[in-house]
Amino acid sequence: MSLAATSSPARLADPFVQLGRALSAFGSGSPWPGHSIGLTQDEYAAFDGAVAQAQQQNGWFTAEEVRHAAQGLSTMLERGSLAQWLSRYPALATWRPSVTVGIIMAGNVPFVGFHDLLCVLVAGHRARVKASSEDAGLTPALVALLAHFSPEMAGRVQLVQGRLGEVDAVIATGSNNTSRYFKHYFGKLPHVIRTGRTSVAVLDGGESAEELAALGEDVFRYFGLGCRNVGKVFIPQDFDLDRLFRAFFPWKDIIRHHKYANNYDYNRAVWLLDRVPITENGFLVMKEDRALNSPVAALYYERYHDRTELASRLAGESDRLQCIVGHGHLPFGTAQYPGPGDYADGVDTLDFLLRLDQGT
């Protein structure tokens, strides 16, 4: 165990602000903008190549989706957002033990484990990272990119294959099944273990056409594979489903992706064979269902009578929900743009890391 050096929020943020600027350029697909970005042309090309090649290792990680994820990270890493976030943690300016934190990352969407790594590094700890087999090389590429802006921070990251090895604490993300394994294996260590979650939208019928169109971003981005993707919509009794289909029409070309199309065809065929009532439009199947988490290429819906009763029900389901989108909740179209202080599962990861020296 060593001591973590103290630093002001501004200095802690600096390398990540630089990283965010670079990710913004990658996200837009821009050619090398020159040395002002902090990278040589070859360094820029190396990361851009990793973005372009990701789909060969994971068919869901198309260049468009990876670049969109990079753009989302760049928004998270804007100086103002980082400064506001870090200012909430006075312990960052005090000496504290530096430990090794194991991070077991999911691989459902591009760069999904980055926020955990960000928290470990700003807390002054070392990270031992086990990326998902579905990561498609994006996490190593991102760490290599960070090394150009902060060799010290990147030097505290060890990427491992196989077993995680000896660590002092663990942050692990996985399915409900793997979370049980994580709790058994790492239960004696300080840990944050996340289970599978989903997100929902609550419509009141007063949504504009623009708001419903923005909901398409929450439903279809990353092919619906993320925990922040809306997998179900709650609608009033008299809501016309055609309003959603019209709003979602700009996403029609998603069916050209073969993995998505395979899921669409499978779900549609199974439900038709079982004579389950469905509504579909050639690229999305909508099914009335009380379940929260719909399969890929499908969207569950449920009609409600009373908004207060629905709010009470959703409160009771809070341990299964990542986000709620709608009036009075997250604005439509923003679910995939969390800020640095929007913690997965509502667990303050940075507070957990700063308390490790207290044995909590």
**Domain residue spans of the chain:** 2-196, 198-326
2-196 placed in CATH 3.40.605.10: yes
User: What per-residue confidence (pLDDT) applies to 181?
Assistant: 83
The half-sphere exposure of 352 on its side-chain side, counting CA atoms within 13 A, is: 19
pLDDT surpassing 60 at residue 6: no
Residue 318 tokens, joined: 């809070």
pLDDT surpassing 80 at residue 3: no
Do the domains 2-196 and 198-326 sit in the same CATH topology, yes or no? Answer: no
pLDDT tens figures, 187-205? 899 999 998 899 999 999 9
pLDDT mean over 288-307: 97
Residue 10 tokens, joined: 């501004």
pLDDT tens figures, 106-160? 999 999 999 999 999 999 999 999 999 999 999 999 999 999 999 999 999 999 9
Q: Which helix (H) or strand (E) holds 166?
A: none
Confidence category of residue 2, pLDDT binned at 50, 70, 90: low
Share of the chain above pLDDT 90, in %: 89
Residue at 211: amino acid letter: E
DSSP code of residue 35: G
- The CA distances from residue 326 to 7, 181, 291, in Å, are 39, 35, 19
Q: What are phi and psi of 32, to 5 degrees?
A: -50, 120
Q: Are 253 and 223 in contact (CB under 8 A)?
A: no
User: What per-residue confidence (pLDDT) applies to 360?
Assistant: 43
Share of the chain above pLDDT 70, in %: 96
This prediction has a pTM of 0.94
Burial 3-30, CB ≥16 within 10 A → b, else e: ebeeeebeebbbbbbbbbbbbbbbbeee
Determine the CATH number of domain 198-326: 3.40.309.10
pLDDT surpassing 70 at residue 4: no
CA–CA distance, 289 with 81 (Å, rounded to integer): 38
User: What per-residue confidence (pLDDT) applies to 359?
Assistant: 46
Residue 80 tokens, joined: 């103002």
Taking the alpha carbons at both ends of the chain, their separation in whole angstroms is 16
